[in-house]
A and B are shown apart, each in its own frame.
Chain A
């Protein structure tokens, strides 16, 4: 099956790019934390819940926002049934480490614990944009491009979804790497046969 890319982008600790345009770049000497804060402000995300989210969710929400805001009215209306299929290598390690540390101190924070599952980023994206579609979160050392492609194709072939947000969202400590695309079944000359191109920037953040 071939796919049509409706929107795509990537986000790492030095730049945010969507649909071929650089939306933000970290200035010289700017820490990842400061860069993220700036991106949140510059993109006017204006979402009170953002500050409670863990790093993985913040990255997923920023990049998915950058893609969704560029959709046409029709495409935005179809968001309700969009599938969200994400993948990473570290699962929720960023929050796991924090939770483990607080457990060892004899304290555990519910606000940290609820983020110790990688699929919460899927949930946060669905909540923000009122998406009720299919969900899936896969964990693998490197982007599971073929499986993601096969699965997205099957969602379209069975009618379970017409659009799919698919990609990689990985984050740990102060490093993150995210690549997302919103795709649909494609039959034009611009259609792609593989999702590899979407993941060319995607990296695992452990030991990187």
Chain B
């Protein structure tokens, strides 16, 4: 799970062009949207693309994305659950 979280943080930084940040700057339970990392609606859609490209997971409803992308923790749980 820890490896997955680290990997996800790296993907977040690279896929979202977060140039002034590194994976180390993202805490597992930091809110990704709103006040946390300040990501917006396009970033949410971009994370959906990331899930498909890197994990072959297809999210068909962007509304569901809100819960999945709450934090690295929720994202990792979701990815883990899909693998099972």
Interface residues of A (CB under 8 A from B): 48, 51-52, 107-111, 114
Contact = CB atoms under 8 A, between A and B. Distances in A.
Give me the 4 closest cross-chain CB pairs, A-B, nearest first. Answer: A51-B19, A110-B45, A51-B17, A111-B46
Nearest to B38: A48
B30 to A, nearest CB: 15
Nearest to A53: B17
15 contacts: A48-B38, A51-B17, A51-B18, A52-B16, A52-B17, A52-B42, A107-B52, A109-B46, A109-B49, A110-B42, A110-B46, A111-B42, A111-B43, A111-B45, A114-B42
Interface residues of B, number: 13
Contact of B17 (A108, A110, A111, A114): A111
Contacts of B60: none
A110 B17 CA distance: 13
Interface of B: 16-20, 38, 42-43, 45-46, 49, 52-53
Nearest to B37: A48
A15 to B, nearest CB: 23
Contacts of B38: 48
Contacts of B52: 107
A42 to B, nearest CB: 15
Interface centre among B38, B45, B52 (most CB of A within 10 A): B45
Interface centre among A51, A107, A108 (most CB of B within 10 A): A51
A58 B69 CA distance: 28
A114 B40 CA distance: 13
A158 B53 CA distance: 52
Contacts of A107: 49, 52-53
B20 A110 contact: no
